[in-house]
Amino acid sequence: MASEGLERSVAGGSWLFLSNIINSLFGLAFWLVIVRLVGADAVGIAGAVVSAGGVASILASAGLGVAIAREVAAHSGEAVGLSLMVGLMLGGIGLLLGLLLGGGLEFGVSSLWSGAFALLSVLSQTLLGVLMGLERFRALFLIGFIGNLARLLLGIGLAVMGLGVLAPIFGYLTLPLVGAILGLAIVSGSLKTLKINQGKIGSFLSLVASNYPFVLGGQILYMLGVYAFALVSGEALATGVLYISMTITMALAAVPGSLLSASLPIATRRDEDPFIDLLKLGLSILAPLSAGILVAPDYVLGLLNPDLVGGGLVLSILVISLPPFTILTAVIMRLNKIKSQKQLVFLGLASMLSMLVLVVPLAEALGAIGAALAFLVANIVPLPLASRHMGGALIILAKTWVVLAASSLILGWLPLKYVGIPWPLASALAVVGGLVLVHLANLARIGELLQALKVAVHEISGHHI
């Protein structure tokens, strides 16, 4: 490939991507059974409780994971002890916030579970961030696999036992718990001593704070949108539709997100700049997959539960928002690599404020569709600023949306609607057509996609290129 950093990002990203595939497959299996055992209403309640804990963890530690990965990559072992100390402190804050936010829900579920989820999420984020900075991508995959397996078995087991809404809640608590325990075990075993350089705590916290607005205005869209909608609407079923749609959307976002996440520690350590190449590569994979879902979003949701059918527009809006979200992620990674903290703050504030201003009024007016629109707009508003730090970003976005529209509407939806072919075949046509259009639009050549696949296969099989 073009550079060592690009190749290593694809190799490391392949483990993160595989981890996200495992997370998505286990997650789909989890919800497929849970929603049938405990009902869509219980899924909505559990989603709101988990979202409350997720919001609390991000309020307490937004920017922590990115800062840890960057600083550990730049300063190796001496940044690990500092990371763990700050993680413990912010985890305690997350616990308190989770108790408060969970108590604001009116579903009759103890706020203790939201607090516990927030604490465990911060601790898990801290340890996984350290492993990311150390480029321990294989270990991250193994931790994710074990955690997801534990979530699946425990959640389904408790549902069969009749615990109702507590089954999915306890299942989700298991995931960050396993991440924290195994992450600590691996970090402790790979480092002889843990040093805490208190003289650098100010610089470390400054980088965390610089990333805070973007995480609050970007990653928090997942949790905040669901939590705010639950508070505004009080409708468990509609909350469940939004939560499941967000889950599918974030699974898709993991395609380019894995490559870009791996690129930060790798580019920092090697002083390279593979971000725009990885952005185009990630979008070239994301667009065809997204087109396959846009062909028949109601059918996709219906696979989980017939009650979720009708939420197709919500899912479609969220999927359309992924290209700008991916561009913002790429720019954020580049700004972290060069430690441009002022620009990180400006870009993050534009996204965060857009979401905070729009999510409640749009949710009140349009329900779950309004919450999805808030997600879309909050990712579009910062793009003019983001494009200043990544030349050609807006052109890349336009090409991606054209590919997405042409492959999903012309190659998928029209044959489904007017020829009557089965929807799985229509979705497959959209995916294949999307790959061809990606090549023609010069987002990524078929040869480049095959080379990336070759690197990924060799990495996972242990035969490194």
d(CA 25, CA 23): 6
Separation between Cα atoms, residue 62 and residue 210, nearest integer Å = 10
pLDDT band at 397 (very low <50, low <70, confident <90, very high): very high
HSE (side-chain half, CA atoms, 13 Å) at 321: 28
List b or e across 102-138, with b for residues whose CB sees 16 or more CB atoms inside 10 angstroms.
beebebebebebbbbbbbbbbbbbbbbbbbbbbbbbb
For the chain, what is the mean pLDDT? 84
Query: How far apart (Å, rounded) are the C-alpha atoms in residues 294 and 288?
Result: 10
Q: Rounded to the nearest 10 degrees, what angle do helices 166-190 and 137-160 cross at?
A: 150
How would residue 244 be classed by pLDDT, with cut points 50, 70 and 90? Answer: confident
| Cβ neighbourhood burial of 181 (10 Å; 0-12, 13-18, 19+) | middle
pLDDT above 70: residue 255: yes
In the predicted structure, residue 204 carries a pLDDT above the cut 60:
yes
pLDDT, residue 2, reads: 58
> In whole angstroms, what is the distance from residue 444 CA to residue 160 CA?
47
Q: Which of 152-161, 216-225, 267-276 has the lowest mean pLDDT?
A: 216-225
CA distance 348 to 342: 10
- CB environment 418-457: b (16+ within 10 A), e (fewer): eeeeebeebbbbbbbbbbebbbebebbeeebbebbeebbe
Give the pLDDT score at 410.
87
334 sits in the region (left: phi over 0; alpha: psi -120 to 50; else beta) called alpha
- pLDDT-derived band at 457 (thresholds 50, 70, 90) equals confident
Asked whether the predicted pLDDT for residue 147 surpasses 90, the reply is yes
Q: Structure tokens of 204?
A: 């470390």
Residue 374's pLDDT band (boundaries 50, 70, 90)? confident
Tell whether the model's pLDDT for residue 465 goes beyond 60.
no
**In which band, very low, low, confident or very high, does the pLDDT at 235 lie, cut at 50, 70 and 90?**
low
Higher pLDDT, 424 or 243: 424
Residues 6+ apart with CB under 8 A from 202: none
**Res 11: pLDDT:** 87
Residue 320 pLDDT:
94
Query: What pLDDT is attached to residue 217?
Result: 67
What pLDDT does 24 receive?
A: 73
- The pLDDT-based confidence of 193 (bands split at 50, 70, 90) is low
pLDDT of residue 335 exceeding 90? yes
Question: Helix or strand or coil: residue 225?
Answer: helix
For 192-216, what is the mean pLDDT? 78
Q: Region 301-310: what's the mean pLDDT?
A: 75
Is the pLDDT reported for residue 28 higher than 80?
no
In this predicted model, which residue has the larger pLDDT, 464 or 453?
A: 453
Amino acid at 401: W
Confidence of residue 279 (pLDDT cuts 50, 70, 90): very high
**pLDDT band with cut points at 50, 70 and 90 for residue 75:** confident
